């Protein structure tokens, strides 16, 4: 069994879907599970639809029309019959519209997980219909029925034992060697849909691979492999040929966008190799992530944009003590806020986090009852892994540095955005 994951860029248009077919044909009748993300920038559009619904905005019908027309254009270019559209695509769109006629609850994350996954449902349905029409028979599976999570919406925690039972039962029931399912999506015992965190489709692929004891996982991307930096930001970017699991986990933790942070560990536990390959050049070797020892580590540069640097000070001017930190962490957990960098002194404690505007402001308001708070928006967190000191000026330039940390292998700084 092989597991393939195709991201939104891989299936952003009809050419991408046809290219997916070409890749599958390279592997004949081998058993393959294909995990697919929403097409192109659909997830961003679904988030706009969600916000328009919650805010009772007049933009909602316009955004829904954009969603419908984008997918129908791809469908027509793929020559999918009207009967298939009526039987499979229209019901999805009607189901979405029916939800959007309801009065939303006050639980944003719950509503997020009701609305946004329709992007994945549309993409997988379209790909499945197209492949069946082309004679590549497949079984479309609903990931919400297979990946069991708790009810922590937008960050569902996997119940591995139940998930294993559900996936194995489905694979024993359906004999088709090619199975297609959605990335990013899980479901609760109560039949509510959950999501696994933004960019969670990689994690979905790892879950299926772990349960099915896959021989390998391939993530098909619009890059030649795992690069040591974002080519839009840095010159002389190079491809990394091989990477140990541990190093991939570190890079994902620091924010490397090619791989979701939770993806690697399940694969490492069963020694399943992970390939990152270019979907337009499927015969290229790409990057191998496995139990390997590279001769030399390539310096890597990771930039996390739209960060907020927050500093907490006790109102009574006492020292920052364990009880202060405990209270701060408890509040961060309450708001599901992840820390990307932290630093403390005798009188203050500072964290750098993703700027989730509404959530960040609510969290700051809560903590401001006990602490004096200073914060800087529009900052970036830059991580240099296996850094070379002669590159610091090239990376940071003359931007204001708010915080810096350095150890033997990693240098991190929080700087003002350009």
pLDDT tier at 153, thresholds 50, 70, 90: very high
Tally of domains within the chain: 2
Domain for residue 287, yes or no? no
Looking at the DSSP bridge assignments, the partners of residue 124 are none
Residue-wise pLDDT tens digits, 254-284: 988 768 778 999 999 999 999 999 999 999 9
**For position 391, what pLDDT does the model report?**
76
**Same domain, residue pair 66 and 168:** yes
pLDDT at 15 over 90: yes
Per-residue pLDDT band for 388 (boundaries 50, 70, 90) equals confident
pLDDT grade, residue 324 (50/70/90)? confident
Q: What's this model's pTM, rounded to 2 decimal places?
A: 0.91
- Of 196, 214, 232, the residue at which a domain comes to its end is 214
For the segment 401-417, the average pLDDT, to the nearest whole number, is: 93
Query: Rounded mean pLDDT of 363-375?
Result: 94
User: What tens digit of pLDDT does each residue of 119-130 get?
Assistant: 999 999 999 999
Backbone angles phi, psi at 204, to 5 degrees: -55, -45
Return d(Cα 194, Cα 181) in angstroms, integer. 15
Residue 315 or 25, more confident: 25
- If asked whether residues 21 and 115 sit together in one domain, one would say yes
In this predicted structure, the answer to whether residue 415 has a pLDDT above a threshold of 80 is: yes
| CATH number of the domain encompassing residue 137 | 3.40.1160.10
Give the pLDDT score at 255: 85
Q: How much is the mean pLDDT over the chain?
A: 94
What is the domain-level CATH number for residue 358?
3.30.2130.10
Quickly state the pLDDT bin for 394 (edges 50, 70, 90).
confident
Question: Which of 153, 183, 214 lies at the terminal end of a domain, its last residue?
Answer: 214
Give me the DSSP letters along 163-229.
HHHHHHHHHHH---SEEEEESSEEE-TTS-EEE-STTTHHHHHHHHHHHHT-SEEEEEESSSSEESS
What is the CA 134 to chain-centroid distance, rounded? 30
Query: Span 175-185, mean pLDDT?
Result: 97
Domain that holds residue 359: 300-416
Residue percentage of the chain with pLDDT more than 90: 81
The pLDDT assigned to 331 comes to 94
Long-range contacts of 85-93 (CB under 8 A, 24+ apart): 88/125, 88/129, 89/122, 89/125, 89/126, 92/118, 92/121, 92/122, 92/125, 93/68
What per-residue confidence (pLDDT) applies to 42?
Answer: 98
Q: Is residue 95 part of a domain?
A: yes
């Amino acid at each position: 069994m092989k597991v393939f994951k195709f991201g939104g860029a891989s299936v952003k248009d009809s050419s991408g879907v046809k290219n997916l077919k070409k890749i599958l044909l390279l592997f004949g009748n081998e058993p393959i599970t294909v995990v697919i993300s929403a097409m192109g920038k659909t997830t961003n559009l679904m988030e706009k639809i969600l916000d328009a619904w919650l805010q009772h905005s007049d933009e909602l019908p316009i955004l829904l029309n954009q969603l419908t027309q984008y997918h129908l254009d791809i469908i027509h270019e793929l020559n999918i019959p009207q009967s298939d559209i009526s039987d499979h695509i229209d019901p999805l769109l009607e189901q979405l519209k029916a939800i959007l006629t309801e009065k939303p609850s006050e639980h944003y994350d719950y509503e997020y997980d009701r609305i946004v996954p329709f992007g994945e449902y549309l993409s997988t349905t379209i790909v499945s219909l197209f492949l069946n029409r082309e004679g590549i028979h497949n079984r479309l599976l609903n990931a919400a029925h297979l990946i069991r999570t708790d009810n922590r919406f937008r960050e569902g925690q996997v119940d591995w034992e139940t998930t294993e039972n559900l996936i194995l039962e489905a694979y024993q029931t359906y004999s088709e060697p090619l199975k297609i399912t959605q990335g990013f999506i899980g479901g609760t015992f109560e039949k509510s849909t959950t999501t696994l965190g933004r960019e969670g489709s990689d994690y979905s692929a790892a879950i299926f691979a772990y349960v099915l004891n896959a021989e390998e996982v391939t993530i098909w991307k619009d890059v030649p492999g795992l690069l040591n930096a974002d080519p839009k930001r840095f010159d002389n970017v190079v491809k990394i040929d091989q990477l140990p699991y541990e190093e991939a986990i570190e890079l994902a933790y620091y924010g490397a966008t090619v791989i979701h942070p939770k993806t690697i560990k399940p694969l490492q536990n069963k020694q399943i190799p992970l390939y990152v390959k270019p979907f337009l050049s499927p015969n290229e070797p790409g990057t191998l992530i496995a139990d390997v020892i590279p001769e030399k580590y390539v310096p890597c540069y990771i930039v996390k944009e739209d960060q907020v640097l927050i500093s907490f000070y006790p109102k009574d001017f006492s020292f920052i003590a364990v009880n202060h930190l405990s209270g701060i962490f408890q509040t961060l957990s309450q708001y599901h806020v992840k820390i990307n960098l932290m630093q403390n002194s005798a009188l203050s404690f500072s964290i750098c986090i993703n700027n989730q505007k509404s959530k960040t402001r609510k969290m700051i308001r809560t903590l401001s009852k006990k602490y004096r708070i200073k914060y800087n928006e529009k900052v970036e967190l830059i991580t240099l892994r296996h850094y070379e000191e002669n590159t610091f000026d090239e990376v940071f330039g003359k931007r204001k540095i708010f915080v810096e940390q350095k150890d033997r292998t990693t240098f991190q700084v929080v700087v003002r955005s350009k």
